[in-house]
Chain A
Amino acid sequence: MEVAQQAISEATVQSVESPAKEITGSAALLEALIIEGVTTIFGYPGGAIMPIYDALYDYSEQLQHILVRHEQGGIHAAQGFARTSGKVGVVFATSGPGATNLVTGLADAQIDSTPLVCITGQVFAHLLGTDAFQETDVINITTPVTKWNYQVTDATELPEVIAKAFYIARSGRPGPVLIDITKNAQIQKFKFKGYTPCNHIRSYRPKPIVRPQFIQQAAELINAAKKPFILFGQGVILGGAEKEFAAFVEKSGIPAAWTVLGAGAIPTSHPLNVGMLGMHGNYGPNVLTNSCDVLIAIGMRFDDRVTGRLDKYAKQAKVIHLDIDPAEIDKNVKTTVPVWGDCKETLPLLTAAIEEKTHPEWLQLFREHTKQEFDLVIEQELNPTTDEMTMGEVIKQLNELTKGEAVIVTDVGQHQMVACRYAQFNNTRSNVTSGGLGTMGFALPAAIGAKFGTPEKEVVAIIGDGGFQMTLQELGTVMQENTDIKIIILNNRFLGMVRQWQELFNERRYSFVDMKSPDFVQLAAAYGISGKSISDRKDLPSTLQEMLAHKGAYLLEVIVTRENNVFPMVPQGCSVSEIRLK
């Protein structure tokens, strides 16, 4: 905000010096982006956005534009950028197919609350509705998958609309915003009177008011609880409340488990971090959800993959739900005490109101469950005795080398669950994955964006052989930008998660999951990217080391065992306490 404020005053000064400064809509858009603190844009040009690209030619020193290979790659990259940097990701795309290619990323960002501002070009306003070349009704297509969208047909609207777009994208529960700009508005010259960021829209309440009585009620429940249990999600990270959260956990002494998107909000190694929730989460957190007496949900939304069968979910427990989005309260799980508000504000109040406690016996119960899970699942996954490698041992080796400091970007499927289960996260914003939408093809472009969002960190993309082939054209972007990302393809030569379900629930009828792949190392080589493929365990540590030591992008294919299953598993339609260890 400080940067923005400073920039505004400069802009104001500018406009005072030249009050009648006439600029095009395109230039006004780029001026606005600069004042909003945008440094990086992911995009792909085309007919209807050409005036903006023409203006961008003059702004290349202030605005870095990353030319992707497909608009879906552009938006996933912007998501990766937003997730690691905490800033708003910006995407440019043209009208028609350019805009429709954004839809998957918008849906992903919407369900995972990722702040984005997408700018799409549109045909001239007088052509709207005429089925003009590359005309699509982008506003209506994207309405269900955006937090807000708006079509600009007159350049004079642009400064205010862009200001609203950034404010809406980043405030409250963040989300994607799409601004569709007709070509005439991009060309149109108007008197640009400077740019003022938005901080209030009368119909929009990003943060509910914190109610002291609910803080008090929540504290009373927590203080009286014998077996309290914390579930935390990405809300802690989005709210920048990691410290406040750690203080709450430590004072209360309550075991805390995370959703996939909550990973990293407190370090994996934290003594009160008891593991992952959900379908492939850890044994203790799932089973003990149905034993706790007070359930404290913080910045999470009780996704069906977390709750399993709802009518058998934590029925014995009193539920305290902290969320910034009032629509989440009571949506899936009935709340006893709703704590509306930004958890950066509510958590310190709650921490102040609770007694300092420890729950050694209760915590011990989690440890006992972990022991069982270790013996039956984890040991075989991390230290296998089979000839072929497992996904888990690759993650374990990676942990040993990166020491939990790397940003781990995952795609969707078995490798994603294995990576989330076993990767070590020391830092917040170091787990980037498609949680809600489960978008295969997310990881490679998201990793590119993640690297731009946090250039000082090691970014490792872990991808399955299936998902990689959905967006592999972004290797071209890696090549062109010399993006220093490490790509690990965990190749089991199957669409593994679907195959696992077919094995367990469809009598091993392996219907269209046997996938042939190209030679990934040669493919990378075609893009000038170094790589190696290994299938022997003894090569794993040295090759991982080689990969991490390599300057620039590197692709490592690891051939892993074909028919391995991710366990534990809560089968669909079952309660979390019916979780299977095998």
Chain B
Amino acid sequence: MEHQEGKQEFNITVYTENQVGLLNRIAIIFTRRKINIDSLNTSPSEVGSVHRFNIVITETEDVVRKLCRQIEKQVEVLKVYYHTNEDVIWQELALYKLSTDVIAEKVSVERLLRENGARTVAIRKDYTVFETTGHREETDNLLSILQPYGLIEFVRSARVAIIKDSEGFNAKLREFERLEPGEEVIENEFLNEGDQVFTM
């Protein structure tokens, strides 16, 4: 997804403490610079007490790197990573609500659903809810297919992304908890050596 002026989608992964107000502290780093957040998801992480933000923005790498440094500067942020779409496995979930009568009458809808990897999550007398997960194009595709059938409601979740070459945060957290952490925790990213995956 190449955009103008070298902008592209970046997936920012932020490991944080679970603290009231931190969402705002992170969000204003973007809004202060008038940068739109395309997608934002907060969830638990692989480590019990640690929260994880997945943030998607469309920007140049230079801007993303500076933003990540500003995020990591926040007291309650443990670690920030940024990745291009190629470096992550990502999914979004979408729900579609249609009239059950329409579904029953139009057999083609059922086939379309199968072709799009969607499944039914609720069937009621008056409506049926389908669900699909996938990349933006996939959920968008099903949206355009269902639109002619009188789609009642549509909603799509924020993006969640798994970093391909991450070893997880468990070992890192133990380092963080030490008074004198090793170099691994405070990695030096600015030299951007050998196009390594960026970490701070």
Query: Which A residues lie at the B interface, using CB under 8 A?
Result: 139-140, 143-144, 147-151, 168, 199-205, 208-209, 211, 325-327, 329-331, 335, 338, 340
Contacts and interface: CB of A to CB of B under 8 A. Distances in A.
Contact of A140 (B24, B32, B70, B176): B24
A205 B186 contact: yes
A325 B66 contact: no
Interface of B: 16-17, 20-21, 24-25, 28, 32, 65-66, 69-70, 72-73, 75-78, 173, 176-177, 179, 181, 183, 185-186, 188, 190-191, 200
B179 A203 contact: no
A325 B186 contact: no
Contacts of B185: 205
B186 A208 contact: yes
Given A139-B21, A325-B73, A327-B73, A205 B28 contact: no
B32 A144 contact: yes
Given A327-B69, A329-B190, A205 B181 contact: yes
A140 B181 CA distance: 32
Contacts of A168: 75
B28 A144 contact: yes
A120 B72 CA distance: 27
B186 A209 contact: yes
A234 B200 CA distance: 25
Nearest to B69: A327
Given A144-B32, A327-B70, A204 B75 contact: yes
Contacts, number: 64
Contacts of A338: 188, 190-191
A201 B78 contact: no
A185 to B, nearest CB: 15
B75 A202 contact: no
Given A143-B24, A325-B73, A331-B66, A203 B78 contact: yes
Contacts of A331: 66, 69
A203 B181 contact: no
Nearest to B77: A203
Contacts of A209: 183, 186
A331 B69 CA distance: 9
B188 A340 contact: yes
Contacts of B200: 326
A386 to B, nearest CB: 46
A327 to B, nearest CB: 4
Contacts of A329: 69, 190
A519 to B, nearest CB: 44
5 contacts: A204-B76, A325-B73, A326-B73, A327-B72, A335-B190
A202 B177 contact: yes
A323 to B, nearest CB: 11
A177 to B, nearest CB: 9
A53 to B, nearest CB: 26
A143 B25 contact: yes
A147 B75 contact: yes
Contacts of B77: 203
A84 B177 CA distance: 34
Given A139-B21, A143-B24, A327-B70, A148 B190 contact: no
A330 B77 CA distance: 21
A218 to B, nearest CB: 13
Given A203-B76, A335-B190, A149 B69 contact: no
